[in-house]
Amino acid sequence: MTNGEPSQVEERELTYTDERRPHLGGAAPLRHMDGAATKSDGAGEAVGPRDKQLFDIIETIPVMAWTMLPDGSNAFANRRWAEYCGLSRQDTVGSGWQAAIHPEDAEQYLHKSRESLATGEPFEGEARFRCAADGGYRWFLGRAVPLRDDQGNILRWYKILTDIEDRNRAEALLAGENRILEMVAKGESLPYILDCLCLLVEEHTRDALTAILLVEDGRLRHVGKPSLPPAYVEAVKGKIAVGPKVGSCGPAAYFARQVIVSDITTDPSFDELRDVLPLFPSLRAVWSTPIMSSEGKVIGTFAMYYSEPRSPSARDQEIIEQITHLAGVAIQRAHLDRDLTLREAKIRRLVDANIIGIFIWEVEGGILEANDAFLRIMGYDREDLAAGRLRCTELMPPEWLEGDVQRGPEYVRTGRLHPFEKEFFRKDGSRVPVLIGLADFEESGRQGVAFVLDLTERKRAEDELRASEELKRRIIESSRDCI
């Protein structure tokens, strides 16, 4: 084959299962992209595709394919390599291909390659390779296997590079999303979570600055804003209203749809912010997307800023959709926590005000907590409560138990009982009339809260009124007898 003519040789092909199987193959000289045959030293290291059809397959497969000499130097690279990296045949041969590796990945990738060459074991490694079209880097998975002769000597290496950039980004984004959800579950502060969410996007998009704004009283306020110029945030503070013509976030929240401003300098939506924009010429494009609650209400917006006119790609839209969903989860959880805190504070103020007796009960009959008003009504003190001497079942006179049984189905159905009158035993054995209402804390109904109003004064007033009415009746009847 030194004269460039095809030949037939018996080779042992190394498969991915490391099995060697003999085959008789017609081999044509390996030709570079310009069609010139490569040279062979007789050892077979330059043997190439059998015919044009095989060569065409190698040139058109959706991966970058190489052949390497036993020492690892490049002997051939297909057209896809040249189109991606922009390296010519002369630039690629030998070790020239290494110029395309990202500097941060070169050491570990080449170290793995040298180990594989030294041991003869198949190679597998990941690294970023530079794209000639935009100067950026993408992640590739490199795999190489050796072709051996009958004596086990390596004749050449076959290598492919498979683009795994999208896979790596998806995995990294998913891992980031899981971290955000963990923060939400742990109750981290909303500004911190939203800052982390913005940084997650900025890690996976090129040249973007991001922000998350919350809807508050008809306006939008920056909350997540880790990379935005603080002066810009301060300059637009209070100026972004939820409306059809205020920047991009205002209309996005107003119309509940995405607003793309590819060039801020010419878009009329930013007319009301013209006094601010000259201070920040690096902000040229912005895409704003509404953040929706589970009820379909706009609760915020997610904005991506760029330093040059630009519109979102399909991948950008995928990221935006994921991030707005996560932001919605975080914001709604924060709103829920805030509402619960406010509600608990109101309940605590009610409990501490001691206007009405309140106690927390458990289904086994114990009273777990009570305010001073309830203890005063019942004649007990904190020591009695701590010692467990207050139990619902021991406070109720037997004749009232039947009424409680009758009210049972209502409680099971609704989880609460509307206020009703009954009596309790006080610590000294006397009875106290009360008005009581109950509600459970959870679906299981194992714990709940009761509100107790002392009716002693009302009952006394009612008794006095009845006595007065009886006295009036007797007086009237006596007067009639006298007449």
Identity of the amino acid at 199: L
Residue 26 has pLDDT above 70, yes or no: no
Question: Rounded to the nearest 10 degrees, how much is the dihedral formed by the CA atoms of 98, 102, 104, 106?
Answer: -20
pLDDT tens, position by position, 332-363: 999 888 888 887 777 777 667 777 899 988 88
431-440: strand order across its sheet: 367-370, 357-362, 447-454, 431-440, 416-425
Residue 9 has pLDDT above 70, yes or no: no
Strand (E) or helix (H) holding 174: helix 165-186
Spatial distance between the Cα atoms of 10 and 361, rounded to a whole number of angstroms: 88
pLDDT tens, position by position, 79-105: 899 899 998 888 888 888 999 999 999
Give mean pLDDT, residues 12-18: 35
Per-residue confidence (pLDDT) for residue 25, from 0 to 100? 35
Which two tokens mark 371?
A: 């305010």
Residue 413 has pLDDT above 60, yes or no: yes
Give mean pLDDT, residues 440-458: 82
Strand (E) or helix (H) holding 425: strand 416-425
For 354, residues 6+ apart whose C-beta sits below 8 A from its C-beta are 371, 372, 373, 376
Per-residue confidence (pLDDT) for residue 37, from 0 to 100? 43
Burial of 255 (0-12, 13-18, 19+ CB in 10 A): middle
Residue 288 has pLDDT above 90, yes or no: yes
pLDDT tens, position by position, 170-193: 888 888 888 888 888 888 999 999
Alpha-carbon 471 to chain mean position:
76
pLDDT tens, position by position, 235-264: 888 889 999 988 899 999 999 999 999 888
- Per the model's pLDDT, the better-predicted residue between 483 and 43 turns out to be 483
Residue 33 has pLDDT above 60, yes or no: no
Per-residue confidence (pLDDT) for residue 364, from 0 to 100? 85
Give mean pLDDT, residues 145-167: 91
Residue 40 has pLDDT above 70, yes or no: no
Give mean pLDDT, residues 142-171: 91
SS3 480: helix
Q: With bands split at pLDDT 50, 70 and 90, how would you rate the model's confidence at 442? A: low
Q: Which residues of 62-90 are buried (b: 16+ CB within 10 A; e: fewer)?
A: ebbbbbbbbebebbbbbebbbebbebebe
Q: Select from 344, 389, 397, 400 the least CA-distant residue to 367.
A: 389
Burial of 239 (0-12, 13-18, 19+ CB in 10 A): middle
Q: With bands split at pLDDT 50, 70 and 90, how would you rate the model's confidence at 143? A: very high
Per-residue confidence (pLDDT) for residue 47, from 0 to 100? 44
Tracing tokens 């009875």 back to the chain, one arrives at 431
Percent of all residues in the chain with a pLDDT value above 70, rounded to a whole number? 87
Strand (E) or helix (H) holding 435: strand 431-440
- Per the model's pLDDT, the better-predicted residue between 55 and 481 turns out to be 55
List the helix and strand counts (H, then E) for the chain: 14, 17
Per-residue confidence (pLDDT) for residue 379, from 0 to 100? 93
Spatial distance between the Cα atoms of 59 and 110, rounded to a whole number of angstroms: 25
Enter the DSSP assignment of 439: E
SS3 317: helix
CB atoms inside a 10 Å sphere around CB 304 = 25
Strands (E), 217-376: 219-224, 259-261, 285-292, 298-306, 357-362, 367-370
Per-residue confidence (pLDDT) for residue 412, from 0 to 100? 80
Q: How far is CA 115 from CA 66, 309, 315, in A?
A: 18, 47, 37
Label residue 390 left, alpha or beta by phi (over 0 means left) and psi (-120 to 50 means alpha).
Answer: beta
Q: Select from 287, 284, 283 the least CA-distant residue to 259.
A: 287
For the question of whether the overall pTM of this predicted structure is more than 0.85, the answer is: no
Enter the DSSP assignment of 281: T
Per-residue confidence (pLDDT) for residue 467, from 0 to 100? 84
What does the DSSP assignment read for 195-261?
A: HHHHHHHHHHSSS-EEEEEEEETTEEEEEE-SSS-HHHHHHTTTT-BSSTTSTTHHHHHHHTS-EEE
Per-residue confidence (pLDDT) for residue 7, from 0 to 100? 41
For 324, residues 6+ apart whose C-beta sits below 8 A from its C-beta are 289, 290, 291, 292, 302
CB distance 286 to 248 below 8 Å: yes
Percent of all residues in the chain with a pLDDT value above 90, rounded to a whole number? 39
- Per the model's pLDDT, the better-predicted residue between 218 and 60 turns out to be 218
Q: With bands split at pLDDT 50, 70 and 90, how would you rate the model's confidence at 483? A: low
Residue 38 has pLDDT above 60, yes or no: no
C-alpha torsion sign, points 456, 459, 465, 470: negative
Give mean pLDDT, residues 271-282: 76
Mean pLDDT, the chain, whole residue set: 83
